[in-house]
């Protein structure tokens, strides 16, 4: 796992499958931050 910023929030990203793993608090922050827009990765 590698830490990456997703919309300014530090999350875990798998180096093999590129899956993003979120805990409940991270998911809530992301959904509050971008209610109707797509996410973009900011390394």
**Phi and psi (nearest 5°) for 9?**
-110, 130
Q: How high is the pLDDT of residue 42?
A: 61
Q: How high is the pLDDT of residue 3?
A: 95
Asked if residues 14 and 21 have their Cβ atoms less than 8 Å apart, the reply is yes
Q: How high is the pLDDT of residue 38?
A: 57
35 pLDDT higher than 80: no
Q: How high is the pLDDT of residue 7?
A: 84
Q: How high is the pLDDT of residue 30?
A: 86
Q: Minimal CA–CA distance to 39: which of 14, 1, 7?
A: 7
Question: What is the tens place of the pLDDT at every residue in 6-34?
Answer: 888 899 999 999 999 999 999 988 888 65
| 11-28 exposure pattern, b = at least 16 Cβ within 10 A, e = fewer | bebeeeeeeeeeeeebee
Residue ranges of domains in the chain? 2-33
């Amino acid at each position: 796992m590698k830490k990456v910023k997703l919309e300014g929030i530090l999350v875990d990203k798998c180096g093999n499958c590129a899956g993003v793993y979120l805990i409940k608090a991270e998911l809530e922050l992301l959904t509050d931050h971008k209610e109707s827009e797509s996410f973009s990765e900011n390394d």
